[in-house]
Chains A and B, each alone.
Chain A
Amino acid sequence: MSDTEATPDDVRHVAELARVDLDEDEVDEFADQFADILDYFHALDEVPTVERDADLVNVMRPDEVREGLSQAEALSNADETEDGYFRGPNVS
C-alpha cells in the first residue's frame, strides 16, 4: 500500500483526457498503481544535487529542406488508410 493518495476520480479524469475507457475494477486497479508511481517520484526528492554539465543553448538547424518519407512509407504503419490519408473514426 502506498503513502500517496490517488483517488478513483483522479484516475477517471486522467483516463478521460487520454480518451481511454476504463471499467470500475480497472479504475481501482489504476488508482493503486498511480499512487505507487507517485511514490517512486517522491523518492527522487531524496537524491542529492550534483554538479552537472553546463546546459546546451541555441541548438538549431538551417532552414533547408531535407527529404522526408514517401506517402507509402508514411502510411505503412497505419491500420486504415484512404486515398493517401490516415483513416480513423469520427471525432468531434
Chain B
Amino acid sequence: MSTQAAQEGDLAAVIGLEVHVQLETATKIFCGCSTEPTEEPNTNVCPVCLGLPGALPVLNEGAVEAAVKVGKAIDADIPEETRFHRKNYYYPDLPKNFQITQYDEPICRDGELEVSVEGERRTVRIRRAHLEEDPGSLQHVGGGIDSATHTRVNYNRAGTPLMEIVTKPDFRRPAEARAFLAKLEEVLEYLGVFDSQRDGSLRVDANLSIIPEDEIDDEGAISEETLADANRTEVKNISSHKGAETALAYEETRQKNLIRRGKGVQQETRHFNETHGSTVSMRSKEEEKDYRYFEEADLPPLQVSDWKERIPIPELPDARRERFEEEYGLDDESASKLTSTKQVADFYEDVAESFDPDLAATWVADNLLGELNYRDMQITDVEGRLDEFTRLVELVADDEITTKNAEEIVLRRMLDEGEQPDDIVEAEGLGKTGEDEVAQAVTEAIDENPEAVADYEDGDDGAINFLVGQVMGKTGGSADPGTVNGLLREELDD
C-alpha cells in the first residue's frame, strides 16, 4: 500500500496466530521419557532427547492420536500421508542442533474454530496444525538474556510433544485473538489432550500488519495482494491470552503511529516484554531458507487419515452448550458458564440428574463457580469433593437448610475450612427449625409484644416485620422468614 493512501484513509489491523500447545501424553514424542514436570533438572532424559550420537527417534502413538483428535475438533483434513522434517538451527536448547517438526506435509490442514467475541460468533480459519518436539529450557544466570554470566540447560522438557496451530489472518482486533486462545484451550481441555495449568503449556507467536480499512470487502475478506503488500511483524515470547492481547494492542498502536507519521513498518521479528507490556525488535538473522529443512529419514511417513473414523472425541463445548439449553431449558449465559470446562459440565449434569435443573444451574454456575472464582480457585481444585457439594444442594432441595445459610455459611466454610456440609449444619445449628418450634415462637412473640400487635391491628403493616424479627431471634435465625410472616398473619388476622 502507498503510505500516502494509508495516511488519508482509516487503518485496520490484520492479525494471525501461531499457537504452540503441549500435548498431554505420558511420554515424549520420540522417546519413552516421562513428560511429568519435575523440579530436578535432567532427570527425564535419555540418549534420544539428549541428542546423543546414534540414538534413533521412534514416534509416540499417543501423540499422533492426540493430534488426530485436535484435527477432528477443528474439522481439519488429515492427509493420506504426512511426514517429519528436520529444522536446523544452532541453539543450546536443541541438543541435536535440529528440531524434528513437520514442514510441507503437516498432519492437519484447513480447519476452523468458531469463536464468540462480545456476543458475536465468528469462524476463524486454521491453515494447518503440525506435530513437533519441544526444545529444552535455558536459564540465563546472573542477569538478563544479554547480561547473563552463563547459561544452565535442562533437557527435561526437550521432546515434549507440541502441536503448532497456525490460523489464517482472520482477526481484526486483539480481543478476538484473545477470545480465540481461550476457546482453543477450552476445546483442547475437553479433548483431554492439554493441561492449561501446566507452566509453559501454551506459547503464542502473533503476526500483525496494518492495511487501509477500505481494502476489506463487505464479507470481511482481504485480497492476497493487499496482505502481501503490508509489512508485518511477528511477536514472539507470548505465554498467556492476556499477553497476546496486550502485545497485539501495543503493535497495532505502534504500527499505526509509524504509518501516520509517514514512516514505514519494518518487516521483522519482535520480542514481547511481559513486564512492560511492550514489544522490542529482535535481531533475527535467520530466514526460512537458513533452517535448511530436509526430510527426517529416521522417521517413516505416517498414513493415519483413517484414524479420524477410529478415534472418538467427546461432545465439544459448543454442542454441549446447545444441548444444555434444549435439554435443561437454560439460558445462553448459564449454559455457556456451565460448559466452559468439561469438569464443570460433567458435574452440572451429575447434579441436574438428581435435582431440579434450574436449582442445579444456580448452585453450580452462580454459587459454586462464583465462590471458587472469588478465591482464585478452579473446579479442579475441589475435584475430589464434588459429592460434598451435591450433598449441599440436596440439603437445600430437601428444604433442610435455608438458601441464605447454604450460600453464606455452609458453602463458604466448605471452601475456606474444608469442612463437610453436614458437620457445618450441625455445628452452627442451621437445620431448619421444626414446625412446632416455629409455631411456639410465633405464639410467644404475639404474647410478649402487645403494642406491636395493636399497631398491626390498627393497620400499620410495618409492625409485622418487627414481630418476624422477634420470631427469627427466638429460633436462632433458622426459621424461614416468609413462613413466619405467613404464620403471624394467620394468627393475627383470625
Chain A residues in the interface with B (C-beta under 8 A):
16-19, 55-71, 74-75, 82-92
Contact = CB atoms under 8 A, between A and B. Distances in A.
B42 A86 contact: yes
Contacts of B63: 63
B145 A92 contact: yes
Interface in B49-96: 49-50, 58-64, 81, 88-92
A88 B91 CA distance: 11
B9 interface: no
B50 A57 contact: no
A67 B292 CA distance: 33
A57 B26 contact: no
Contact of B151 (A19, A59, A61, A91): A91
A13 to B, nearest CB: 8
A72 B29 CA distance: 23
A19 B285 CA distance: 12
A82 to B, nearest CB: 6
Given A58-B300, A91-B91, A68 B45 contact: yes
B99 to A, nearest CB: 14
B41 A85 contact: yes
B454 interface: no
Contacts of A56: 300
A10 to B, nearest CB: 12
B89 A60 contact: no
A82 B152 contact: yes
A16 B33 contact: no
Interface residues of B, number: 53
Contact of A89 (B26, B91, B151): B151
B139 A57 contact: no
Contacts of A89: 150-151
16 contacts: A56-B300, A57-B81, A58-B300, A60-B58, A63-B25, A63-B60, A64-B26, A65-B32, A68-B33, A68-B45, A68-B46, A74-B50, A84-B154, A86-B153, A91-B140, A92-B145
Contacts, number: 123
Nearest to A70: B43
A4 B75 CA distance: 48
A71 B26 contact: no
Contacts of B290: 17
A61 B302 contact: no
Nearest to B151: A88
Contacts of B149: 90
A83 B150 contact: no
A57 B378 CA distance: 43
Contact of A59 (B27, B31, B152, B300): B300
A91 B138 contact: yes
A29 B277 CA distance: 49
Contacts of B44: 68
Contact of B92 (A60, A67, A74, A88): A88
Contact of B42 (A18, A57, A74, A88): A74
Contacts of A69: 45-47, 50
Interface string B300-312: 1111100000000
Contacts of A62: 61-62
A77 to B, nearest CB: 8
A72 to B, nearest CB: 9
B151 A63 contact: no
Interface string B383-415: 000000000000000000000000000000000
Contact of B301 (A57, A64, A71, A85): A57
Contact of B90 (A17, A66, A86): A17
Contact of B155 (A60, A63, A74): A74
A48 to B, nearest CB: 21
Interface string B88-119: 11111000000000000000000000000000
B239 interface: no
A64 B32 contact: yes
Contacts of A64: 26-27, 32
A88 B32 CA distance: 27
A90 B64 contact: no
Contacts of A18: 90
A55 B399 CA distance: 70
A86 B139 CA distance: 10
A87 B151 contact: yes
Contacts of B64: 60
A89 to B, nearest CB: 6
A58 B107 CA distance: 13
Contact of B60 (A61, A70, A74, A88): A61
Nearest to B90: A19
A65 B27 contact: yes
Contacts of B47: 69
A63 B140 CA distance: 33
B34 A65 contact: yes
A44 to B, nearest CB: 15
A67 B150 CA distance: 31
A88 B300 CA distance: 34
B377 interface: no
B150 A87 contact: yes
A23 B407 CA distance: 76
B416 interface: no
Contact of B150 (A57, A63, A90): A90
